[in-house]
Amino acid sequence: MEKPRIATASLAGCFGCHMSLLDIDDRILKLIELVEFDKSPVDDIKNFTGRCAIGLIEGGCCNEENVHVLKDFRKNCDILVSVGECAIMGGLPALRNGIPLKECLETAYINGTGVYNPSGRIPNSEDIPLLLNKVYPCHEIVKVDYFLPGCPPPADTIWEACVALLTNKPLDLPYELIKYD
Amino acid sequence: MKNLEKAVAKICAEYGNDRTRMMDIVRAVQVKFGGVDNEAIDLIAARTGTHRVEVESVVSFYAFLSQKPKGHVVIRLCNDVVDQMKGVQDVAKTLSTKLGIGFGETSSDGWFSLEWAPCIGMCDQAPAALVNDLMVTNLTTEKAAELIRALKANPNPGQLTAKFGLGEGNNAHELVQSSVQNNIKKTGEVLLGDVPAEAGLKKALQKSPEEVIAEVEASKLRGRGGAGFSTGLKWKFTRGAQGQDKYVLCNADEGEPGTFKDRVLLTERADLLFEGMTIGGYAIGAATGILYLRGEYNYLRPFLEDVLQKRRDARLLGADILGKAGFNFDIRIQMGAGAYICGEETSLISSCEGLRGDPKNRPPFPPQQGYLRKPTSVNNVETFCCVSRILDKGAAWFAAIGSGKSTGTKLLSISGDCKVPGVYEYPFGVKIRDLLQDVGAENTQALLIGGPSGQFIGAESFDKTICYDDLATGGAVVIFNKDRDMIHIAHQYMEFFVEESCGYCTPCRTGNVLIEKCLRKILDGQGEPEDIAYLQQLGNTVKKGSRCGLGQTSPNPALTTIKNFRAAYEAVLKPARDGMQPTFDLKAAVSDAEELAGRQSVSH
């Protein structure tokens, strides 16, 4: 039987959740026995090569490209999981949500303390995806099936969740892995 | 500058520079200067010996207070659901056009402010607006235009009373002078029929306080505000609690949308109410009573103050009341300032203490530690009125009225789709079907029993009865005919709760917004079948995770319409096809960036 495929993406995140995924240490060998990695920064596959069982999403959506990738994941994955605070709630990037976009960009590129930008312009090339008016959590853009809380979720949480999904067994996370106060 | 300093000093001195009288102080500054600005906040803080944040938190909390100055004339148009049903939008358009300002704005000359207000207690004569302290009811576009014309000629709402005619009964009293109507449509033997003056108080003073409490307990009187706790028991706890100073508080903050029966009691049965409070003071051993009057009813204040003064003159308040040596009791009026949450008893206590209207943690319950941490009994206007009658006519007489565990009569404020809205006094146990007939309701689809914090019921419940064990209500009954969209109505009430949540408990502050958004989504035709489970789950979380009655009941408009009008939901919910969220609008989401970058997004 063909191994189920798994895909991952980091949208408006810091790659910390992916680092946490790698933190499963040698269990990654066991994971690749269980699954084949499809589109993911882990193997640098850029486009989906087939239907995936699971899509793990790190980060929320701060620009149009994020939205495009997220929708692509929804189309190609049976189960979509929001991994970590940014995917679930927008996280740190969403701190800008109370500030108008223009003000954000002007502070970042023109007026902010320590900014060196002799051109006085905000970068604007066709290669740069347009920012959204605010940062959206993933489930406000597509349907998300599961949420793994944490910043980042511990490796064990990601591991247990993936194993449970792949083996179709109930997930029994100890309290320590999901409490954050 | 100096003017402000002098005025603030004078106002603070008037209230003994006492920070627990903060509500009165900031209200007075607001009235005098149209707002309580930063400088005034500092001055008040210095005078009352507190921190500016404490003053600012009060000013920013209440709808009738503001840091930015408001116009000399503030027009607050009621946007309650019933007003919407009666065409308030047209009135709003007229007001806005004639004044040349939108809602939430102040005219550039500083004369007029236009605002929306939640239920102002006039659902039986909607649409209605509060113009400073002047109530203008039964508004039409013509009347609204006339109002603005008159105000522009003479921007003093107090002098416009004659223009709109005078209401019946005490509404025409020289100290009220209001066009508000009582609309008493059914009188009962307890409250709205003939009541002899002071008969209850006289008999109470012949008994010991314990005997008075026993009498109230024997009558099985339960709180009329909605929660239905035994009044006798509450008084017994308060009397038995440790502590010297005890307080009797009357909750006259009726803010539950659709409720207006306390307004009628305050207008027509003020003496009966104060008599009941005095009996309460005697029973629990309190020397001070406070009537917490909602800010919207400020037009009744001069009248009520006058009633209190007359009672003092007649030795019905003050020292040695009615010659009873050692029984001293007086009542003061505490004005609210436009906050629904203050109808919740611990918020009401916070407000009386000069704080934001935040609910308090329980325990301790108010009978143990309430106002100023002293044992306090908070009872509804109607409850006190019932007490006076019980002490006069006896517990057995009262207990014989009503049904089973719900004794006595209940005032119902009935409005919405019916021919004869108004206040009805029914013995407990009245059947919904009979009530609908009495008020001339036809083609009825739904009733909202107990206001939005209560429940929506449909035709299958029309044989149920109004009482604590069947359909409990603090008094609001709103009727909706078959042309009304129940989801739309539930959504409007959720907007109300979003606005009125005090914000302390996250489930209430955030959850109500999410419920409101989900209903909006359904109304926009984007609802999906799983939204029902989502709303139910979210609603139950809000109920369980909130510490006061507001959050514990605020999801009810959504939950009870789902329960009793599920077909209305199912008719409009469609399964999503592609796993995308229909509510996300990429085009709108990139519009700001497109404008800034001067190029179109490639994604839409």
* B162/B70: higher pLDDT: B70
Task: Give B590's contacts in chain A (Cβ within 8 Å).
Answer: 64, 130-133
Are B429 and B472 part of one and the same domain? yes
Of all residues in chain A, the one with the smallest CA distance to B597 is A124
Report the C-alpha gap between B368 and B246 in whole angstroms.
10
Does residue B170 fall inside a structural domain?
no
Quick one: angle between helices B199-206 and B270-284, nearest 10? 10
Specify the residue for token string 């790659």.
A15
Report the C-alpha gap between B342 and B118 in whole angstroms.
14
Of A101, A131, A143, the CB nearest to B581: A143
Are B476 and B492 part of one and the same domain? no
Task: Give B597's contacts in chain A (Cβ within 8 Å).
Answer: 124, 130
pLDDT digits 0-9 by tens, B292-329: 999 999 999 999 999 999 999 999 999 999 999 999 99
Does residue A151 fall inside a structural domain?
yes
Does residue B589 fall inside a structural domain?
no
Are B323 and B398 part of one and the same domain? yes
Does residue B431 fall inside a structural domain?
yes
Task: Give A67's contacts in chain B (Cβ within 8 Å).
Answer: 584, 586, 589, 603
Residue B464 has pLDDT above 90, yes or no: yes
pLDDT digits 0-9 by tens, A154-180: 999 999 999 899 888 998 888 888 887
Q: What is the pLDDT of residue B70?
A: 95
pLDDT digits 0-9 by tens, B100-153: 999 999 999 999 999 999 999 999 999 999 999 999 999 999 999 999 999 999
For residues B214-236, average pLDDT: 96
Does residue B173 fall inside a structural domain?
no
Burial class (CB within 10 angstroms; exposed 0-12, middle 13-18, buried 19+) of B130: buried
Contact B594 A132 (CB under 8 A): no
- pLDDT band, very low/low/confident/very high, at A59 (cuts 50, 70, 90): very high
- CA B387, B393, B398, B401 dihedral sign is negative
Does residue A122 fall inside a structural domain?
no
pLDDT digits 0-9 by tens, A130-153: 999 999 999 999 999 999 999 999
Does residue B584 fall inside a structural domain?
no
Does residue A119 fall inside a structural domain?
no
Question: Which residues form the domain of A72?
Answer: 5-95+134-178
Of all residues in chain B, the one with the smallest CA distance to A74 is B579
Task: Give B598's contacts in chain A (Cβ within 8 Å).
Answer: 124
Are B351 and B399 part of one and the same domain? yes
Does residue A54 fall inside a structural domain?
yes
pLDDT digits 0-9 by tens, B424-439: 999 999 999 999 999 9
Are B350 and B221 part of one and the same domain? yes
Phi, psi at B409, each rounded to 5°: -110, 170
CB contact set of A171 (below 8 Å; sequence gap of 6+): A160, A161, A164, A165
Which residues of B, range 566-595, sit inside 8 Å of A by Cβ?
A: 576, 578-581, 583-584, 586, 588-594
Does residue A116 fall inside a structural domain?
no
Are B343 and B417 part of one and the same domain? no
Does residue B51 fall inside a structural domain?
yes
Does residue B14 fall inside a structural domain?
yes
Of A67, A102, A133, the CB nearest to B591: A133
Contact B601 A130 (CB under 8 A): yes
Contact A74 B579 (CB under 8 A): yes
Does residue A155 fall inside a structural domain?
yes
Contact A64 B597 (CB under 8 A): no
pLDDT digits 0-9 by tens, B535-571: 999 999 999 999 999 999 999 999 999 999 999 999 9
For residues B579-586, average pLDDT: 92
For residues B256-274, average pLDDT: 97
Domain count, chain A: 1
Listed in sequence order, the DSSP H helices in B394-547 are 395-399, 432-438, 486-500, 506-523, 530-545
Contact B101, B112 (CB under 8 A): yes
Q: How far is B531 from chain A (nearest CA, A)?
A: 12
Q: What is the pLDDT of residue A62?
A: 98
For position A143, which CATH number holds?
3.40.50.700
Of B553, B559, B382, which Cα lies nearest the Cα of B454?
A: B553
> ipTM score of the complex?
0.92
Q: What is the pLDDT of residue A173?
A: 86
Q: How far is B594 from chain A (nearest CA, A)?
A: 7
Of all residues in chain A, the one with the smallest CA distance to B599 is A126
Domain count, chain B: 5
Which residues of A, range 75-104, sit inside 8 Å of B by Cβ?
A: 75, 80, 100-102
- pLDDT band, very low/low/confident/very high, at A1 (cuts 50, 70, 90): low
A123–chain B Cβ distance below 8 A for any pair: no
Neighbouring C-beta atoms of residue A30, cutoff 10 Å: 12
| Interface mutation vs chain A, best among B530, B538, B603, most A CBs within 10 Å | B603
Contact A143 B598 (CB under 8 A): no
Question: Which residues form the domain of B44?
Answer: 2-61
H or E stretch including B332? strand B330-335
| Interface mutation vs chain A, best among B510, B596, B600, most A CBs within 10 Å | B596
Task: Give B529's contacts in chain A (Cβ within 8 Å).
Answer: none
Q: What is the pLDDT of residue A167?
A: 87
Structure tokens belonging to residue A159: 């591991």
Are B263 and B307 part of one and the same domain? yes
Share of chain B above pLDDT 90, in %: 96
Contact B593 A142 (CB under 8 A): no
Domain boundary among B348, B378, B403: B403
Domain boundary among B36, B61, B86: B61
Contact A133 B589 (CB under 8 A): yes
Task: Give B603's contacts in chain A (Cβ within 8 Å).
Answer: 64, 67-68
Helix then strand then coil, in percent of chain B rounded to 5, is 50, 15, 35
Report the C-alpha gap between B168 and B264 in whole angstroms.
11
Residue B604 has pLDDT above 80, yes or no: no
Of A71, A130, A140, the CB nearest to B597: A130
Contact A75 B579 (CB under 8 A): yes
Report the C-alpha gap between B411 and B424 in whole angstroms.
6
* B490/B577: higher pLDDT: B490
Are B8 and B150 part of one and the same domain? no
Are B393 and B350 part of one and the same domain? yes
Contact A139 B581 (CB under 8 A): yes
- CA B253, B256, B259, B261 dihedral sign is negative
Of all residues in chain B, the one with the smallest CA distance to A127 is B602
pLDDT digits 0-9 by tens, A62-107: 999 999 999 999 999 999 999 999 999 999 999 999 999 999 999 9
Contact B603 A126 (CB under 8 A): no
Contact A74 B583 (CB under 8 A): no
Report the C-alpha gap between B493 and B478 in whole angstroms.
12
Q: Which segments of B132-237 are extended strands (E)?
A: 134-136, 184-186
Task: Give A101's contacts in chain B (Cβ within 8 Å).
Answer: 592-593, 596
Q: What is the pLDDT of residue B1?
A: 55
Structure tokens belonging to residue B487: 């989801």
CB contact set of B34 (below 8 Å; sequence gap of 6+): B69, B70, B71, B72, B110
Contact A140 B584 (CB under 8 A): yes
Contact B581 A132 (CB under 8 A): no
Does residue A71 fall inside a structural domain?
yes
Contact A133 B593 (CB under 8 A): yes
Contact B462, B441 (CB under 8 A): no
3-state class of B498 per DSSP? helix
Report the C-alpha gap between B93 and B82 in whole angstroms.
17
Contact A124 B601 (CB under 8 A): no
Of B117, B122, B98, B107, which Cα lies nearest the Cα of B72?
A: B107
Task: Give A124's contacts in chain B (Cβ within 8 Å).
Answer: 597-599
Report the C-alpha gap between B35 and B161 in whole angstroms.
25
Report the C-alpha gap between B132 and B113 in whole angstroms.
10
Contact A133 B594 (CB under 8 A): no
- pLDDT band, very low/low/confident/very high, at B232 (cuts 50, 70, 90): very high
Does residue A32 fall inside a structural domain?
yes
Contact B261, B466 (CB under 8 A): no
Of B581, B592, B599, the CB nearest to A126: B599
For position B518, which CATH number holds?
1.20.1440.230
Q: What is the pLDDT of residue B532?
A: 97
Are B221 and B362 part of one and the same domain? yes
Task: Give A142's contacts in chain B (Cβ within 8 Å).
Answer: 579-581
Report the C-alpha gap between B28 and B22 in whole angstroms.
10
Q: What is the pLDDT of residue B603?
A: 78
Of A71, A101, A124, the CB nearest to B580: A71
Structure tokens belonging to residue A11: 């949208």
Are B298 and B388 part of one and the same domain? yes
N residues, chain B: 604
CA atoms within 13 A on the CB side of B47: 27
A&B contacts, CB < 8 Å: 64
Average pLDDT, chain B: 96
Burial class (CB within 10 angstroms; exposed 0-12, middle 13-18, buried 19+) of B26: buried
Of B247, B352, B344, B307, which Cα lies nearest the Cα of B23?
A: B352
Q: What is the pLDDT of residue A31?
A: 84
Does residue B181 fall inside a structural domain?
no
Domain boundary among B347, B373, B403: B403
What single string gives the DSSP state of each residue in B37-70?
A: -HHHHHHHHHHHTS-HHHHHHHHHHSTT--SSPP
Contact B596 A143 (CB under 8 A): no
Residue B3 has pLDDT above 60, yes or no: yes
Report the C-alpha gap between B513 and B441 in whole angstroms.
33
Are B320 and B335 part of one and the same domain? yes
How far is CA B523 from each of CA A170, B490, B496, B508, B569, rounded to the nearest angstrom? 36, 11, 17, 22, 10
